[in-house]
Amino acid sequence: MRKKILIIIPLFLITGISIYLYSYKGHRNIESETADYTVTVKGLEKEFTFNDSLATVKYQDKTIEVTAIVTAVEPASKGIVIDEKIFATFKDSLPKDIAIGRMLKIKGRFLGYDELLQEFKIDQSSLIHQNK
């Protein structure tokens, strides 16, 4: 009986610690990560048109950089639309001086393609460069 207790208690401790560490692992800091891919809107469209399953596996939850023109600004959702195809939300607030028609380069986490709205989704975006 005593041997069973000496075996069961460490197993419970190891299992509990493993579950805790898995559940509460640290959050990613997309802004400090190196981009996995540098893409264009046309390139994304081409890959998703050719084979959306492979493209989803390739880009899902990866850090990407995109250079494009701002086509809409949505301050309420802290987001912008670039090249009328990518909706990007920023973590804290919209960067200053973002305006429709400006060329910019952003980095963010690729979430996927929204078939209903026919646009790509990026979150945790950060502004890398903006032409004035």
For each of the domains in the chain, give its residue range(s) and CATH number, in order of start. 30-130 (2.40.50.140)
E-strand spans in 37-102? Answer: 37-39, 63-74, 79-82, 86-90
| Distant-in-sequence, close-in-space partners of 118: CB < 8 Å, separation ≥ 6 | 85
Parallel, antiparallel or unpaired: strands 63-74 and 37-39: parallel
The C-alpha atoms of residue 94 and residue 82 are separated, in whole angstroms, by 14
Does this model's pTM top 0.85? My answer is no
Average pLDDT over residues 112-131: 89
The C-alpha atoms of residue 81 and residue 75 are separated, in whole angstroms, by 11
**CA-closest candidate to residue 123, choices 75, 71, 62:** 62
pLDDT in tens, 41-51: 999 999 999 99
Q: How confident is the model at residue 97 (pLDDT cuts 50, 70, 90)?
A: confident
